[in-house]
Chains A and B, each alone.
Chain A
């Protein structure tokens, strides 16, 4: 594509400090095939222990090993419940991000704890096997196995099985979309919704937005190449890629649970996320799409005090109230 230039959408000035922090804290080492393990080790040091994240908030935390996919190891789940237990509660099944190669189930769990308390929900965060040691379909199959267990044990956990939704950011958003496709195709758990936050869903890395953020910003085009190469190996970019690994590959997006898709206007996943929503709507399916002006990848997590981040957080809560049938507060 030489000769074609792709001027990027500029960042919201209020987000610039958070972006700088993200780049320094998370992406100090460029993510390439030979730096994945070093990055993973570093990433592990910036995710605080769960006890520290919980602090004195009134939740109970339980770690459980549940059956993994056939022939695979058990899957570790962390279950977060309001102290004292609940009945008929919403269930929030959370899948962490990290480009399919980094992270653990405690990354981002602060947000899950907040939602557990706000909605009186039961949250489950799943540990899944990472690439490149465990290429597709290991990660998404682990996530699916954990969801099947959660749905089957919903009542024991105080959860209304009709109100379980799946959620995740970045790779976790892509895995959430993949799990929603699997649940549909396998006649698995009926999900109340899929909340896909800046989801990583397209291995082709060919949209305008992927080219606008090539060497620029958080989770740039090169990092994305690294993640997909690790997950898919030589299959990447071919017609052999499974839609469960790269949901943008799915040819049929009908019959899915209502989707919430939220992404920044100034990041590589903008176009694939928008296209996913367009294709869901074309089938008559329900999706809500929010593309926030000047938002970098993960802006609301790393610049939580910015006006745009507060708006994004408030909008997510509105959708959760609508999906979970929680009365709204005028």
Chain B
């Protein structure tokens, strides 16, 4: 099925050529280790990445899920913190198969400085070596630890927001469902940036970006295949892996859903917001005209990105009550 794609915004389109390598190998289990290594080289450790910004960076090892290895987390706090502040619990992206938490340090640093909050950035196990439920259970364990150590971290436990981009947005939505269903930490919000939440790959937008853009249909199929194996796309996936599969979206923390109009996740993310609203739940939805997947990271100096960041900041102020 070929579908006419929504075109890219002309201001950000040049960035696409820099990001998308025409000779990039497809995502396969064999290719993934080298991709991870190449990406890791692009992102320095947090202590280095924050430069001389007035923040404290602490790397910690915390307990993982029962019977599973420990987790690495990075805590970024405003310096001289003497009272509890809101917290951001962040999950990085990478299609469930690549990526590292250091990728998100610039985004988190900006939020820590803008909102005076403490960020906890979690590393989780990746597919295909660690298929579902390893990634989402790691992320959930990190959230539970963060909530239990809120006081020590100077986080106000009533103002803890989970966030992530792409796979990290999908995992954030999955962790929010887990927290609801297990009576876990009470979240003040879920900030879902172009979240990867639907393993079915049946929407119009999932077809419109076949072979096109920063995150293609093919990459997405590979990611879900690695996470779910033969269950991918069969309708049997757990909602904690593929939150679009959840039949009940009531009782969730307020959601912020952001996505580009020119990317595969547009329709599944819009649908997720529609289904939250239908239950009487709170969600804010922003679909940015002509924006490709990850536009804010790849085209930071653009009108679109400035507007998207302003909308995020506004929502965080409303959720944090600041």
Contact = CB atoms under 8 A, between A and B. Distances in A.
Contacts of A281: 6, 204-205, 261, 266-267
B289 A284 contact: no
A294 B282 contact: yes
B19 interface: no
Contacts of B283: 9, 265, 291, 293
Contacts, number: 121
Contacts of B205: 281
Contact of A283 (B4, B278, B318): B4
Q: How large, as a class, is the contact surface on chain B?
A: 35 or more
Contact of A289 (B285, B310, B315): B285
B289 A288 contact: yes
Interface in A302-330: 307-308, 310-311, 314-315, 318-319, 321-322, 328, 330
Interface string B258-292: 00010000110010011001111111111111100
A319 B307 CA distance: 9
The residue in A282, A319, A328 that gathers the most chain B C-beta atoms within 10 A of its C-beta is: A282
A100 to B, nearest CB: 25
B303 interface: yes
Given A281-B266, A284-B5, A9 B280 contact: yes
B313 to A, nearest CB: 8
A300 B166 CA distance: 30
A307 B317 contact: yes
Nearest to B8: A286
B301 interface: yes
Interface string B168-208: 00000000000000000000000000000000000011001
Contact of A277 (B254, B280, B287, B310): B287
A277 B5 CA distance: 14
Contact of B311 (A7, A294, A311): A311
Contacts of B317: 307
A96 B273 CA distance: 29
Contacts of B303: 318, 321-322, 328
5 contacts: A10-B280, A212-B280, A284-B6, A311-B315, A322-B303
Nearest to B319: A293
A-B pairs with lowest CB-CB distance, top 4: A284-B4, A7-B280, A311-B314, A318-B307
B250 to A, nearest CB: 8
Contacts of A293: 254, 256, 282-284, 315, 318
Contact of B11 (A283, A291, A311, A322): A322
Nearest to A285: B6
B289 A322 contact: yes
A221 interface: no
Nearest to B204: A282
Interface in B16-47: none
A16 interface: no
B211 to A, nearest CB: 15
A181 B106 CA distance: 44
B289 A287 contact: yes
A286 B261 contact: yes
Contacts of A7: 279-280
Of A212, A265, A293, most B-chain CB atoms within 10 Å: A293
Given A258-B289, A284-B6, A265 B279 contact: no
Given A284-B7, A286-B289, A318 B280 contact: no
A288 B303 CA distance: 14
Contacts of B270: 274, 277-278, 289
Nearest to B271: A278
B156 interface: no
A155 to B, nearest CB: 26
A286 B277 contact: no
A295 to B, nearest CB: 9
Interface in A261-296: 265, 270-271, 274, 277-278, 281-294
Given A293-B282, A311-B315, 13 more contacts: A9-B283, A10-B280, A208-B278, A212-B280, A265-B282, A271-B277, A289-B285, A291-B284, A307-B318, A311-B310, A318-B310, A328-B303, A330-B306
Contacts of A9: 277, 280-283
B236 interface: no
A178 B167 CA distance: 39
Contacts of B304: 318, 322
Contact of B288 (A12, A258, A271, A288): A288
Interface string B1-14: 00111110101000
B311 A286 contact: no
Contact of B306 (A284, A285, A289, A328): A328
Contacts of B281: 9
A209 interface: yes
A252 to B, nearest CB: 13
A249 to B, nearest CB: 20
B287 A289 contact: yes
A7 B250 CA distance: 10
Nearest to A10: B282
A319 B289 contact: yes
B277 A209 contact: yes
B11 to A, nearest CB: 7
A287 B261 contact: yes
